[in-house]
Amino acid sequence: MGWRRSGGWLLAAGAALLMPAALRAAPQAEPLPEAELLEQLRGLGVAVEIRPQCGAPGQLAVYNMGANWLCLNQGLSRRPAERNTVLHHELVHVVQDCLDGLETPTSSTLAEGFRRNGSLSRDQINGFFLRYLQRQNNLQQVVASTALLPQDSRQREIEAYALQSDPALVQRLLLLSCRPAAGRRQP
């Protein structure tokens, strides 16, 4: 899954009411600095590379499920705010992969994970992601850019675009959903 360029507090508080109990109960913390976050990913068994090109031309980053490989375009180093958004978009894909286990070649959508772990309706879950997209003012662009994808892939991308602007939430999801690789300790 790759990231391409796309066009607060109150939203996060309202969205928290729709989260499964385990996510609501997870401790709040400031997002980790990037270096620590990338080290945490490595501790999970995710290979992290910074390269001149990742995936298809124009892609700024890519996470390869099954291979557990994250690539960030080195050109993003000159644009830290965009790099942070791109990184957290790809981290949503890591979380999706963790829902089925990083050691498997499959992943799950967060929506499916929320349904499995809580008593949320499909409308509540869709509303959760919709509010995030509306807050970022990128709903129309995301709908258009994902329209031709198969339904599961489309849902994964919508979730990643929706949550990419909330590093604290994405990192909480990572903490709750992902376990260190066998023989490795999580930092």
How far is residue 65's CA from residue 42's CA, in Å, rounded to a whole number? 14
- Token code pair at residue 172: 């909480």
What pLDDT does 38 receive?
95
Instruction: Write down the pTM of the prediction.
Output: 0.82
> In the structure, what pLDDT confidence band is assigned to residue 134 with cuts at 50, 70 and 90?
very high
What pLDDT does 30 receive?
80
**pLDDT beyond 50 at 184:** no
Residue 94 burial (10 A CB sphere; 0-12, 13-18, 19+): buried
3-state SS assignment for residue 34: helix
Residues 6+ apart with CB under 8 A from 83: 34, 72, 76, 77
**pLDDT beyond 60 at 7:** no
CB 47 within 8 A of CB 72: no
Mean pLDDT of the chain: 83
Q: What number of other Cβ atoms are within 10 A of residue 121's Cβ?
A: 11
pLDDT tens by residue, 18-59: 455 555 555 566 888 999 999 999 999 999 999 999 988 889
pLDDT tens by residue, 136-176: 999 999 999 999 999 999 999 999 999 999 999 999 999 98
Give first-to-last CA distance, the chain, whole Å. 26
What pLDDT does 21 receive?
55
How far is residue 24's CA from residue 20's CA, in Å, rounded to a whole number? 6
Residue type, 93: H
pLDDT tens by residue, 75-125: 998 999 999 999 999 999 999 999 988 988 888 999 988 888 776 788 888
